[in-house]
Amino acid sequence: MSVVLGANNYGKSEVRLVKVDRGPDRHELHDLTVDVALSGDFEPAHVQGDNTGLLATDTMRNTVYALARTHPIESPEAFASVLVSHFLQAGPSVTSARVRIVEHPWARLGEHPHGFQRAAGGEHVATVTGDGTDTTVEAGIDDLLVLRTTGSGWEGYLHDQYTSLKETADRIMATVVTARWTYSRPSELDFAQLWEGVRATVLEAFGDHYSPSVQFTLHHMGEAVLEAHPEVERIHFSLPNKHHLLYDLSRFGLDNPNEIFHATTEPYGLIEGAVERSPVPSRDNGGAGVGAARA
C-alpha cells in the first residue's frame, strides 16, 4: 500500500490575550482570543519524526504576547496582519500563515476612565491569511442576538401530509447573527471603523422592513451591506431561527392575543447564504461585450 501526506498545518489555538493601554487619564481595554496556524513543508516531521526547522507552538504563544507589547492593537485585522508577517519568517519550511482573532467586547462604565463591563452586541472576528505575496482579510461578527416582536411572517410555504405549522403574518423573529465578509483592498482600509459600519448596517437592515422569511431578511441585510460599503466584496450569514411559539392558554380559559410565547432552543431552523457582487462582464468578448450589447 502506498500512502502520502495530505494537506496539513499546525499552530497554537485559544491564546487568551488582554492588553491595557494605560493613557494618562484614560485606559483602553483589548480582550482577544488568538489562533495561529502555519502551513508549509512539514513532511519530515510527520513522516520521519524530524522536527528540524519547526517552530514550537509554545513559541507561537509567547510571540503573540511579545508582539502585543511592541505593537498597537488598532483592530483585530491589523494585529493579525502583524502576526502573519512575523510567522511567515518563522522558519524556512513555512509557506503560509493564518491568524484568527476574536475580540470580546467590553463597554466603559459611563465616563469611568478605567472601569468596564462586558458588552453585548456581538464579537469582532478577523482572519488574516498570507503567503508573503498575497494577503486575504476576512472580518466578521459572532454572537449578535437580535429580535423583532412583529413585522415578520411565514406564509405560502409548501404543505404536505406532515405539515402541522400554521401560517402567520405576525410572528416574533429572533436569530443570533454570524456573519463573515471579505474586503477588496485590505491594505488600504480602516478595519475598526469598517467593522462598526457593517455591524450598524446589519442591525438597521434587520429591522427596517417587513420580513416574509428569514431568507428574505438574509438577502436584504447582505444587499444593504454591499450598497453601504463598497469595500466589501461578499458577505455570508448564518442565521439560526430562534423560535418563539405562541403558547396555548385556552385550556385555562384565557385568550392569548399574541403576547405569551414559549422560547425554544432546539430544534431550530438554520438559514445560511451569501450575498456577493456580480462579476463585471468582460468587454473583450469578440465584439459581444457590454459595449456591443448597448450599441
- Residue 290 has a pLDDT of 36
- Considering only residues 211 and 93, tell me which one the structure prediction assigns the higher pLDDT: 211
pLDDT band at 192 (very low <50, low <70, confident <90, very high): very high
Question: From CA 268, how far away is CA 242, in angstroms rounded?
Answer: 6
3-state secondary structure at position 195: helix
Average pLDDT over residues 184-192: 84
Quick check: 124 and 193 in contact, CB under 8 A?
no
Cell of 12: 497554537
- pLDDT in the model for residue 157: 96
CA gap 116, 109 in Å, rounded: 5
Q: Give pLDDT tens digits for 262-271.
A: 999 889 999 9
Sign of CA dihedral 119, 147, 230, 126: positive
Active-site annotation, residues: 12, 57, 243
- Tell me phi and psi for residue 284, to 5 degrees: -105, 85
Is 292's pLDDT higher than 50?
Answer: no
With bands split at pLDDT 50, 70 and 90, how would you rate the model's confidence at 174?
very high
The helix (H) or strand (E) run that includes residue 241 is strand 232-241
- Give the bridge partners for 240, in sequence order: 270
Task: Give the rounded distance of the alpha carbon of 111 from its chain centre.
Answer: 30
Q: How confident is the model at residue 184 (pLDDT cuts 50, 70, 90)?
A: confident
**Structural contact between residues 195 and 254, judged by C-beta atoms closer than 8 angstroms:** no
For 178, residues 6+ apart whose C-beta sits below 8 A from its C-beta are 140, 141, 142, 143, 144, 237, 238, 239
Q: What's this model's pTM, rounded to 2 decimal places?
A: 0.89
Q: Which three cell numbers stand for residue 24?
A: 494618562
> Strands across the sheet with 123-130, in order?
10-22, 27-40, 94-103, 123-130, 135-148, 173-183, 232-241, 269-276
- Mean pLDDT within 193-205: 97
At 194, give phi and psi (nearest 5°).
Answer: -65, -40
Q: Is the pLDDT of residue 193 over 50?
A: yes
Q: What is the pLDDT of residue 294?
A: 33
Q: Which domains does the chain have, with CATH numbers?
A: 9-133 (3.10.270.10), 140-289 (3.10.270.10)
Distances (CA, A) of 104 to 19, 53, 94: 12, 34, 30
Among 204-208, 244-248, 288-292, whose mean pLDDT is lowest?
A: 288-292
Would you state the cell numbers that stand for residue 125, as one nine-digit string? Answer: 472576528
Per-residue pLDDT reduced to its tens digit, 106-140: 999 999 999 999 999 999 999 999 999 999 999 99
Q: What is the mean pLDDT of residues 284-292?
A: 45
What does the longest C-alpha to C-alpha distance in the chain come to? 77
Tell me the pLDDT tens digit for each residue of 9-24: 999 999 999 999 999 9
Q: Tell me what the mean pLDDT of segment 258-284 comes to.
A: 89
As a whole-number percent, the residues of the chain with pLDDT over 90 amount to: 87
DSSP β-bridge partners for residue 116: 108
Residue 286 has pLDDT above 90, yes or no: no
